[in-house]
Amino acid sequence: MANKLFDNLIEVEQKKRADDDGLVRFVAIFLLVFCLLFYARTQVYMLIDVVGDSMCPTLDSGDLLVANRKTDCKRGDIIVFSVGGEKNLIKRVIAVAGDTVWSENGMVYVSYKDGNGERYYQLSEDYLLTQGITYVEKTTVNDGCVFVLGDNRAISNDSRNFGQVKISTILGVVTNWSVAGKDTIFSRLYYLL
């Protein structure tokens, strides 16, 4: 009888240790996941709340987006940056260092040099078809800078007004999946994290 009681006490103690180990494992995993999400949100990604209509119809005021802090920008990317102490601005990169950008008959052109010499192309901007004429003075982009325009050219405050954007002022590049999923429940949930 004493042996049976002793065996029961051992079983109870082992079950209690297993429960305690499970709780410790759960807390450790929870803390690890929390720390990884916190790091990602503060060091790799930033959350952007679009304010204003300068990027319509691509982005609307109130859209929630994710920008990657660790990515270099290229032509066509949507970036978040600061200029002259203003709050974060969101615009599209039209030209990068060494490119020349200008407009003719309301269409925007970019020329660049590659291994085959100088090339140029007309921007394909379907979202601008109803906005009228875009005027861009011929500008060659300096080293360490980009030239940006808003998608809603009629009201956008962009490089036509404040000049080229220094790469050092770029806070992040808006991710394509963020733009594609801007109206999903997942973007709203990520915003709450």
Active site residues: 54, 91
Q: Give the residue from 179, 178, 175 showing the smallest Cα distance to 190.
A: 178
**87: its two tokens:** 């709050």
Residue with tokens 């200008």, as numbered in its chain: 102
The C-alpha atoms of residue 145 and residue 156 are separated, in whole angstroms, by 19
